[in-house]
Amino acid sequence: MDLLQLQWKRLVWIIQRGTLFVMALSLASCAITPAQETETAIVEEPKEIVTTEPIEQAVEEEEPEDLPLTAELVYYILTAEIAGQRGEMGVAVDLYHKASTEIESPALAGRSAQVAVFTRDQQRISRALERWAEVDPEDADVYVMQAPLLMIQGDYAAAVKAVDAALELASPEDARNFLARIAEQLTELVNAEQALNIFQQLKQYQANDTDVIFAYAKLAAFYKHYADGLKAVDVVLEQQPKREEALVLKAEILQRTGKGDVALAMLAKAVKADDVSDDLRFSYAKSLGENGKTKQSRQVFEQLHEANPNSDEVLFALGLLALEEKDGATAKKFFSQLVKQGDRGKQAAYFMGLAEEVNEQIEQALIWFASVPADSSRYQSAQRRYINLLAERGEVDKARNHLKLLRKENPDNAVQYFMFEASFLREQDQDQAAFDLYTDALVQYPGEVELLYGRAMVAEPLNRLSVLEQDLRVILKKDPDNTQALNALGYTLTDRTDRHDEALILIKKAVELKPNDPFYLDSLGWVYYRLGNLPVAERYLRQAADVQPDAEFLAHLGEVLWQLGKREEAKQMWQKGLQQTKDNQLLLKTMRRFGL
Domain residue extents for the chain: 277-391, 394-478, 512-595
Percent of the chain at pLDDT > 90 equals 55
Residue 516 DSSP label: T
Nearest Cα neighbor of 268 from 245, 241, 296, 304 is 296
Residue 45 CB neighbour total at 10 angstroms: 11
Quick one: pLDDT at residue 59? 34
Contacts of 63 (CB under 8 A, 6+ apart): none
- Distance CA(432)–CA(422), nearest Å, equals 10
- Distance CA(230)–CA(246), nearest Å, equals 10
CA angle 576, 577, 583 (to 5 degrees): 135
Which burial class, exposed, middle or buried, applies to 480 when counting CB atoms under 10 A from its CB (0-12, 13-18, 19+)? exposed
Residue 39 DSSP label: S
Q: Which of 49-53, 246-250, 485-489, 587-591 has the lowest mean pLDDT?
A: 49-53
- Distance CA(165)–CA(175), nearest Å, equals 11
CATH number of 277-391: 1.25.40.10, 3.40.50.2020, 2.40.30.10, 3.40.1440.10? 1.25.40.10
Quick one: pLDDT at residue 12? 46
More confidently predicted of 153 and 47? 153
Q: Is the pLDDT of residue 25 over 80?
A: no
Q: Which of 44-48, 195-199, 268-272, 498-502 has the lowest mean pLDDT?
A: 44-48
For 512-595, CATH gives 1.25.40.10
Q: How far apart are the first and last CA of the chain?
A: 101
Query: Topology of domain 394-478, per CATH?
Result: 1.25.40
Residue environment code for 383-413, b if the CB has 16+ CB neighbours within 10 A, otherwise e: bebbbebbbeeeebeebbebbeebbeeeeeb
Residue 64 CB neighbour total at 10 angstroms: 18
- Helix H or strand E encompassing 404: helix 396-409
- Distance CA(375)–CA(343), nearest Å, equals 13
- Distance CA(550)–CA(557), nearest Å, equals 11
Quick one: pLDDT at residue 65? 53
Q: Which amino acid is at 168?
A: E
pLDDT digits (tens, 9 = 90+) for 436-454: 999 999 999 999 999 999 9
Length of the chain in terms of residues written:
596
How does the average pLDDT of the chain come out, rounded?
85
Quick one: pLDDT at residue 483? 95
Q: Are 117 and 97 in contact (CB under 8 A)?
A: no
| 366-391 average pLDDT score | 91
Distance set, CA 311 to CA 276, 299, 318, 570 (Å): 17, 16, 11, 59
Quick one: pLDDT at residue 96? 83
Q: Is the pLDDT of residue 497 over 80?
A: yes
Domain 277-391 shares a fold with domain 394-478 = yes
pLDDT digits (tens, 9 = 90+) for 311-343: 999 999 999 999 999 999 999 999 999 999 998
Q: Which amino acid is at 520?
A: Y
- Distance CA(27)–CA(342), nearest Å, equals 20
Q: Which amino acid is at 103?
A: I
- Distance CA(474)–CA(345), nearest Å, equals 43
- Distance CA(527)–CA(464), nearest Å, equals 21
Quick one: pLDDT at residue 594? 86
Contacts of 491 (CB under 8 A, 6+ apart): 503, 507, 523, 526, 527
Q: Which amino acid is at 389?
A: L
Residue 63 DSSP label: P
| 518-537 average pLDDT score | 94
| 533-543 average pLDDT score | 94
Q: Is the pLDDT of residue 107 over 60?
A: yes
Q: Is the pLDDT of residue 58 over 90?
A: no
pLDDT digits (tens, 9 = 90+) for 205-260: 999 999 999 999 999 999 999 999 999 999 999 999 999 999 999 999 999 999 99
Residue 334 CB neighbour total at 10 angstroms: 24
Quick one: pLDDT at residue 10? 45
Q: Which amino acid is at 542?
A: R
pLDDT digits (tens, 9 = 90+) for 420-437: 899 889 988 899 999 999
Q: How far is CA 456 from the centre of its chain?
A: 29
Q: Are 100 and 112 in contact (CB under 8 A)?
A: yes
Quick one: pLDDT at residue 68? 61
Q: How far is CA 444 from the centre of its chain?
A: 28
Angle, to 10 degrees, between the axis of helix 140-152 and the axis of helix 106-117? 30
- Distance CA(480)–CA(477), nearest Å, equals 6
- Distance CA(76)–CA(447), nearest Å, equals 49
When pLDDT is cut at 50, 70 and 90, the band that residue 66 belongs to is: low
